[in-house]
Amino acid sequence: MDKVILDAATREKLNGLTGRVALCDEAGEVIAYAISPNAIDKYQGIPIEPPFTEEELKEAFAQTGPGRLLEDIVRDLREGR
């Protein structure tokens, strides 16, 4: 994740942020969205940290083999398996 350091004046503008905020350029065009750490719980499903460790990810990407057919995966999902 990239990090941007805000000056005191910008931090003051964001003080009290309770949800999402659009960050815009001088022309009013949205360049990014921000959310405060305190408000993140309202947005379930937005992962803050990956649910897997670096080691688990490396292991998963290193696996070889045929895997499963998409047809089988879809069937299992429809059947609630």
Determine the structural domain holding residue 48 and report its residue range. Answer: 8-78
| Dihedral angle of Cα 33, 37, 40, 46, to the nearest 10 degrees | 70
Structural domains of the chain, count: 1
- pTM: predicted TM-score of the whole model, two decimal places: 0.42
Nearest to 18, CA basis, from 3, 35, 41: 35
* Residue 42 placed within a domain: yes
Predicted confidence band at 48 (pLDDT cuts at 50, 70, 90)?
A: low
Does 1 fall in a domain?
no
In 3-state terms, what secondary structure has residue 24? strand
Two structure tokens written together for 36:
């405060």
- Residue type at 70? L
Q: pLDDT of 12-42, one tens digit each?
A: 888 777 778 888 999 999 998 888 776 776 6
pLDDT at 71: 93
Q: Domain for residue 2, yes or no?
A: no
Is 36 contained in some domain? yes
Distance, in Å, from the CA atom of 1 to the CA atom of 13, rounded to the nearest integer, reads: 23
